[in-house]
Structures are given as structure tokens and as C-alpha cells.
């Protein structure tokens, strides 16, 4: 079963279609009767359309387990984004405002961790274990909010270590291992 895709707002697609039809119509024999010529032009115009197959959805479709789909990966990415953002504020990197005093540090950490928690609450997890695991990524948001002021000079190193640990968890090999574990659960 085919679905014909025709979007007239995509100029390149329209031009490609027009060229394909024109090239095939010019190859037609001029000695064809008018009725046959019209039928051939109609067949050519239909066959030149972009086609997309509509596959039936299968439960074991491997595309379900690609990287962007699982809530655990989204939780890892949310944690990595929050930790990287907090770390960038310390030296003032990537157009971030540099932290100068303790109030700035606690205010930005609070704002970033609240955003992180909102991202986590928007996800739906299959089990309570996954929920706990997602909230513990990157030493969880509450950990960063509760850091004492005497540890603020060490904050850059702590954030960098947490960032490196999360990057190892997001690495392609780790994702491959998790996909095979998921596949084993369903087989």
C-alpha cells in the first residue's frame, strides 16, 4: 500500500516532480492516439509522485528502542543539560553570566534544578525503579540545591565529575547495552 506525498509548499519537490514528468512525457511517441497519450501522461504523473510506504506497526519494531524514545535517556539528557548549565556559570562560559557571590550561585542552582525536575515529572516511566533511577541521575536535583556554602569553591570540580559520569552513561556503547537488555526482556 502506497501513500502519495504531495506538498506544494516544498519548491524543490515540486521542481523535481515537474522535471521528472516533463522528461518522461517528451519520450512518448507523437504517433499515439490522443486517448492513449492522455492515459500515458496520467500514468507518468502518478508514477513520478514521491511514495512513502505505510508499514504496519509491530510490537517488536526496533525503531521503538532507538535513542530518542526511552524516558531513561531523556532523563539522562535532562540531567546532563542541567549540570552542564550550572558548570558553565562558574567561569562565565558560553555567554553565561559569571557567578560572583553566594546568592548568585544558590539562585541559579535553584532555577536550573527546578527546570530539571519539571522535565523529569513530564516523563512517564514503566516502573517505580525507573522513576527512582531517573531522579538519581547526576546526583539528583535536590543534592545540588543542598550543597553547603563551604563547598562552593569546589563546585566546578564536582559538576565536572558529575558531567563526565553522565556522558559515560549516554555513550553509544552504553546505549547499545541497554537496548539489548530491553530486547531480552521482551523476548
The answer on 179 and 92 residing in a single domain is yes
Which residue segment(s) compose the domain that 6 sits in?
2-53
**Range of weakest confidence among 114-118, 123-127, 157-161:** 123-127
Quick count: other Cβ atoms within 10 Å of Cβ 109?
Answer: 23
Cell representation of residue 44? 507518468
SS3 47: helix
pLDDT digits (tens, 9 = 90+) for 132-162: 888 888 888 888 888 887 887 788 888 889 8
pLDDT above 50 (res 123): yes
Mean pLDDT of 5-18: 74
Tens of pLDDT along 25-39?
888 888 888 888 888
Same domain (yes/no): 49, 67: no
Dist CA 116 CA 138 (whole Å): 11
Q: Which residues contact 80 (CB under 8 A, 6 or more apart)?
A: 138, 163, 166, 167, 170
Residue 14 makes CB contacts below 8 A (sequence gap 6+) with 8
Same domain? For 116 and 149 the reply is yes
Same domain membership, residue 129 and residue 97: yes
Mean per-residue pLDDT over the chain, rounded: 76
- Same domain? For 13 and 69 the reply is no
Amino acid at each position: 500500500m502506497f501513500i502519495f506525498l504531495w506538498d506544494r509548499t516544498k519548491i524543490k519537490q515540486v521542481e523535481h516532480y515537474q522535471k521528472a514528468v516533463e522528461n518522461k512525457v517528451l519520450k512518448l511517441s507523437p504517433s499515439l492516439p490522443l486517448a492513449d497519450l492522455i492515459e500515458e501522461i496520467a500514468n507518468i504523473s502518478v508514477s513520478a509522485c514521491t511514495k512513502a510506504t505505510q508499514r504496519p506497526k509491530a510490537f517488536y519494531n526496533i525503531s521503538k528502542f532507538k535513542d530518542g524514545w526511552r524516558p531513561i535517556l531523556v532523563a539522562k539528557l535532562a540531567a546532563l543539560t542541567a549540570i552542564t548549565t550550572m558548570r558553565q556559570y562558574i567561569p562565565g562560559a558560553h555567554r553565561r553570566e559569571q557567578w560572583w557571590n553566594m546568592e548568585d550561585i544558590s539562585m541559579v542552582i535553584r532555577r536550573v534544578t527546578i527546570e530539571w525536575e519539571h522535565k523529569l515529572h513530564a516523563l512517564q516511566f514503566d516502573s517505580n525503579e525507573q522513576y527512582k533511577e531517573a531522579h538519581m541521575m547526576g546526583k539528583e536535583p535536590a543534592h545540588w540545591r543542598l550543597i553547603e556554602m563551604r563547598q562552593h569553591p569546589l563546585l566546578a570540580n564536582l559538576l565536572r565529575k558529575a558531567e563526565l559520569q553522565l556522558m559515560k552513561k549516554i555513550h553509544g556503547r552504553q546505549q547499545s547495552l541497554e537496548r539489548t537488555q530491553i530486547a531480552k526482556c521482551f523476548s
